[in-house]
């Protein structure tokens, strides 16, 4: 029997990945850990978690990946883990200016704790972890390719994600671990993170409060709907793996890019409200443009959800969850 461990199981991507596995792998045990920290609304995390706890093959522990004692307990309780999906992280770019140690603790120490667990678990077949499009940093050749050098991170968050890829490669080399890095591009959708622009804009529109628009909204992103991301993750897990041990990096993102201003205009249409905009200059840590390049990688990744359809689904969820509509 396979045992899947998902870290950050109450987080946005971790929750959706756990839910998909619970539906598709009813004969497997799905373990979830999350320390339910207060970086954003804990009640939202608990609501996500309550959805997962409806499944009899889901087991949850409120463990912190940066705590060695918690990880030792997890290892002793479940020595037969076969797959690790590591999504727990300190997210956000601007938060790093004021809380740098949060990133060092979770994204560096926590990551090493996870690779150490995988090193010692005898049955682990695959360590799959969240990297980020932010590792491309100051690169100006578009679209971003997994073959591009990544030497100029523009934020501490990006630097920790790049470090994760290097640490995973070192463990792959030294201990023959099979590792896959997933460079996610601006993932959005129902149950999304409250610190992301789409959530912040939608909240401000419905509450008739002002919202902050950096650089007049002239920043471009590969907005990628959560369902497409989860389908890509499952394809990696379910497809035949390369000969072990392997180390691979994939971009998971839409080839189509839109400006932040365009996203806000669509949200105004969907909510039938006009934004009250507070203009701010571009933030020092913001990347001006990201665009996912899907060539030169052994993964067929498709984005089936248009931006309009994805935003419609997000607004519908927001109205149901927060406004009771």
* Digit-coded pLDDT (tens) for 266-310: 999 999 999 999 999 998 888 999 999 998 888 878 899 999 999
What mean pLDDT is predicted for residues 72-79?
97
* Digit-coded pLDDT (tens) for 32-53: 999 999 999 999 999 999 999 9
Whether 322 shows a pLDDT value over 80: the answer reads yes
Which residue in 138, 140, 188 sits closest to 158, CA to CA? Answer: 138
The pLDDT > 90 percentage for the chain reads: 90
Q: What is the pLDDT of residue 286?
A: 87
Q: Which pLDDT band, with edges at 50, 70 and 90, does 154 fall under?
A: very high
Q: What is the pLDDT of residue 239?
A: 87
Q: What is the pLDDT of residue 296?
A: 84
Residue given tokens 């596995």 in the structure block: 21
Q: Which pLDDT band, with edges at 50, 70 and 90, does 215 fall under?
A: very high
Q: Which pLDDT band, with edges at 50, 70 and 90, does 248 fall under?
A: very high
**Which tokens sit at 134?**
């932010």
For the chain, what are the domain ranges? 3-189+224-252, 197-219+257-290+306-322
Q: Which pLDDT band, with edges at 50, 70 and 90, does 325 fall under?
A: confident
What mean pLDDT is predicted for residues 83-91?
97
Whether 95 shows a pLDDT value over 80: the answer reads yes
Q: What is the pLDDT of residue 189?
A: 98
Give the CATH architecture of domain 3-189+224-252: 3-Layer(aba) Sandwich (3.40)
Give the CATH architecture of domain 197-219+257-290+306-322: Alpha-Beta Complex (3.90)
For residue 179, report the phi and psi dihedrals to the nearest 5 degrees: -130, 145
Q: Which pLDDT band, with edges at 50, 70 and 90, does 319 fall under?
A: very high
The residues pairing with 225 across neighbouring beta strands, listed in sequence order, are 188
* Digit-coded pLDDT (tens) for 97-137: 899 999 999 999 999 999 999 999 999 999 999 999 999 99
Q: What is the pLDDT of residue 96?
A: 86
As a whole number of angstroms, the distance between CA 186 and CA 132 comes to 9
b/e string for 112-140 if b means 16 or more Cβ within 10 A?
bbbbebbeebeebebbbbbbbbbbbbebe
Catalytic residues: 157
Q: Which pLDDT band, with edges at 50, 70 and 90, does 94 fall under?
A: confident
pTM higher than 0.85, yes or no?
A: yes
Is 197-219+257-290+306-322 the same fold as 3-189+224-252?
no
What mean pLDDT is reported for the chain? Answer: 96
Whether 246 shows a pLDDT value over 90: the answer reads yes
Whether 143 shows a pLDDT value over 80: the answer reads yes
C-alpha of 197 from chain center: 15
């Amino acid at each position: 029997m396979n045992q899947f461990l998902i870290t950050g199981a109450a987080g946005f991507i971790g929750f959706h990945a756990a839910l998909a596995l619970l539906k598709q792998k009813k004969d497997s045990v799905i373990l979830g850990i999350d320390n339910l920290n207060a970086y954003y609304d804990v009640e939202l995390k608990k609501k996500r978690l309550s959805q997962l706890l409806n499944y009899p093959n889901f087991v949850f522990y409120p463990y912190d990946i940066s705590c060695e004692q918690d990880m030792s307990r997890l290892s002793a309780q479940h020595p037969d883990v076969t797959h690790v999906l590591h999504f727990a992280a300190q997210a956000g770019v601007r938060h790093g200016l004021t809380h740098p140690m949060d990133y060092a603790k979770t994204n560096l120490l926590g990551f090493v704790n996870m690779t150490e667990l995988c090193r010692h678990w005898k049955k682990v077949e695959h360590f799959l972890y969240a990297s980020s499009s932010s590792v491309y940093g100051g690169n100006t050749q578009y679209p971003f390719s997994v073959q591009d050098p990544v030497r100029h991170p523009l934020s501490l968050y990006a630097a920790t994600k790049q470090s994760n890829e290097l640490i995973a490669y070192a463990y792959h080399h030294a201990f023959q671990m099979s590792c896959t890095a997933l460079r996610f591009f601006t993932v959005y959708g129902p149950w999304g993170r409250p610190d992301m622009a789409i959530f912040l804009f939608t909240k401000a529109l419905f509450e008739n409060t002002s919202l902050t628009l950096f650089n007049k909204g002239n920043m471009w992103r590969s907005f990628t709907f959560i369902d497409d991301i989860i389908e890509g993750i499952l394809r990696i897990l379910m497809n035949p793996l390369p000969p072990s041990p392997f180390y691979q990096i994939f971009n998971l993102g839409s080839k189509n890019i839109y400006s932040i201003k365009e996203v806000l205009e669509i949200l105004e249409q969907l909510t039938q409200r006009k934004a009250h905009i507070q203009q701010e200059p571009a933030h020092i840590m913001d990347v001006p443009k990201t665009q996912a390049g899907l060539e030169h990688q052994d993964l067929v990744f498709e984005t089936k959800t248009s931006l309009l359809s994805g935003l419609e689904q997000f607004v519908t969820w927001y109205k149901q969850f927060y406004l009771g509509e």
